[in-house]
Amino acid sequence: MLTRQFPHVVLLPGLLNDARLWQHQSAGLADNAQFWIGDLTTADTITGMAEAVLESAPVEKFVLAGMSMGGYVALEIMRQAPERILGLALLDTSARPDTPTALENRRAAIERAEVDFQAVINELMAKQLHPSHLDDQYLVGLVNDMALSLGKHTFIRQQKAMSNRIDSLPFLPLIKCPTLVICGREDAITPLGAHQEMVSAIEGAGLVIIDDCGHLSPLEQPMAVNDALSQWLGTIELKA
Ligand code: MLT
């Protein structure tokens, strides 16, 4: 009997998220894959974050999944080392660079973080979570705790990195590996249209839209995300 090898999956978190963002995927899909979480907390550019992940990834070839800022880094990895990526999952992210308004919002958030980081976390969380999840004490506590444990200096570094990111849209047609795009239907930070745009530009990409879900789909709707990821992982050819 032939047994299928497990893929190594590198998971990239978003702004102010640590490994706990992916806790339900790491636990729930442990029979389908071996997971490793990339560290996006030390570099201050998206390019530098991508280089750090590529240098420290445990294997040469792997499946890559990035959420939000992690998706920006995943797209940069696709530019730097496409030959190492067996499959790409983009969750609640965008290929676009910041608009002038988004840049201004980031600049203001950096200034506010210097004086009242908790207020910045609260404001961010109100956009990250679906309205129906804002009174889920476990979720709110977890998102708050991840943010506090990474701290304001990481927040400022990550905001600066994101504000300088390039437009990835022109590069999307170059992506040739199996690609899955997942989006919370009510994602208020990277809306559905940004995902539809990526799916149109990447040949063969699939789109899964998750109901009752905001920006943090891996935590807000873990079962739906795991179903989509496990079906997709089963289709990926594991080349040596
Ligand atoms: C994230 O969740 O990584 C960020 O909110 C994305 C962004 O600010 O562009």
The residue with tokens 């894959």 is: 33
Nearest atom in ligand 1 to 98's CA: 9
- Say if ligand 1 is within 6 A of residue 69 CB: yes
The strand order across the sheet containing 8-12 reads 34-37, 8-12, 62-67, 85-91, 179-184, 206-210
User: How confident is the model at residue 237, as a pLDDT?
Assistant: 81
Nearest atom in ligand 1 to 15's CA: 3
User: CATH topology for 1-240?
Assistant: Rossmann fold (3.40.50)
33 pLDDT more than 70: yes
Angle, CA 20 vertex, CA 11 and CA 186 arms, to 5°: 80
| Domain ranges for the chain | 1-240
Nearest atom in ligand 1 to 158's CA: 3
| pLDDT tens column, 165-199 | 999 999 999 999 999 999 999 999 999 999 999 99
- Ligand 1 pocket test target in 69, 129, 150, 182 with most atoms within 8 Å of CB: 69
Q: Tell me the pLDDT of the chain averaged across its residues.
A: 96
Range of lowest pLDDT (2-16, 37-51, 54-68) = 2-16
2 pLDDT more than 80: no
| pLDDT tens column, 107-163 | 999 999 999 999 999 999 999 999 999 999 999 999 999 999 999 999 999 999 999
| pLDDT tens column, 75-107 | 999 999 999 999 999 999 999 999 999 999 999
